[in-house]
Amino acid sequence: MANDKPKAPDANTKNYSNIILRNGYDTETGVPGKGCSPDNGVHFYVYFTSAGIMLHQQDTKTISKNLTFEKLRFKSPNGTAFYLSVSDDGQPVFTKVGDSQ
């Protein structure tokens, strides 16, 4: 019987190790969609689903390295929205959405 599990690339298969934008199931969540694998399918990360874009924990490094945010919007448990930004000296600044900025 053939082994159905993906095999990590080795010296003989290193040229065939990347899977890019293929249909599959996310190995962490089981969510179906289009995704990629850096290791011949051992770990498969879905990025596009019928519900939209799906991000993963390892994406935070890329996002935080390549994008700079002036402010982030958060919602409190009671529904009030706040912006979080940083002052010139690095202190957090919370501003209620709708208040002058």
**Helices (H) then strands (E): counts for the chain:** 1, 7
Contacts of 35 (CB under 8 A, 6+ apart): 19, 21, 22, 24, 26, 44, 45, 46, 47, 48
Global model pTM greater than 0.75: no
Amino acid at 94: F
- The predicted-structure confidence for 69-79, as pLDDT tens digits, reads as follows 889 999 999 99
- The predicted-structure confidence for 12-32, as pLDDT tens digits, reads as follows 655 566 889 999 999 999 999
The whole-number average pLDDT for the span 58-78 is 89
